[in-house]
Amino acid sequence: MSQSFESDMPRLQADPATADNFAGEDPSPVKATPSQPAVGAVAVQTTTYVDAVSSLVLPEGVQLASAGRRIGAYLLALPLAVVTLGIGYIIWGLVAWAKGQTPALQVLGMRCWRSEPGRVASWSTMALRETIGILVDDILGITLLVSFLLMLTRPDRRTLHDLVAGTIVVHDPDNVLADKAS
């Protein structure tokens, strides 16, 4: 007899492949599929799971980016800007934003994900995120420290500009989300 259940997470329904697992086994990771995309969003038919540490719904094949990888991306941005003579970095960034990435995130195999609509961050979301990052974190030094502490202490590793833009940074080593960028 097949039983089904509804998750208390918005717009998610149980994956039929795991719906019969009520015999006491640990159902981790919890798998779910999006049932309704946000209005105007491209439907992403990706199997998702709930990250055990952060309790975020993430696409299968990606994981929450580690603090070390996030610090690496921050430190890599300056040498990339210097090597590309600044203007190349700006152009590269404007193109990469459409894929939910910055140049440093792209080099390190990371991407910004919006878990609420269940899709890669759009160009406009990335523009907001990076503008806030430059204005708040880089110009006002104290907020850089606050962002750093937030990233180290929060289970979802969000910084100030992630909180404003509603993004999380995921490590996507196999480019699972590459074709799902808006």
Q: What is the pLDDT of residues 73-87, one digit of tens each?
A: 999 999 999 999 999
What band does 45 get if pLDDT is binned at 50, 70 and 90? Answer: low
pLDDT of 114: 95
**Does an H or E element contain 82, and which?**
helix 67-83
Q: Is 30:42 a contact under the CB 8 Å cutoff?
A: no
Q: How far is CA 5 from CA 2, 9, 30, 88, 145, in A?
A: 10, 12, 12, 51, 43
Cα 35 from Cα 68, distance rounded (Å): 34
Cα 1 from Cα 13, distance rounded (Å): 18
Cα 38 from Cα 118, distance rounded (Å): 8
Mean per-residue pLDDT for 161-165? 95
Mean per-residue pLDDT for 33-55? 66
pTM for this model (two decimals)? 0.74
pLDDT of 134: 87
Mean per-residue pLDDT for 167-174? 96
The highest-confidence range among 1-5, 26-30, 33-37, 105-109, by mean pLDDT, is: 105-109
- Tokens representing 162 are 């992630």
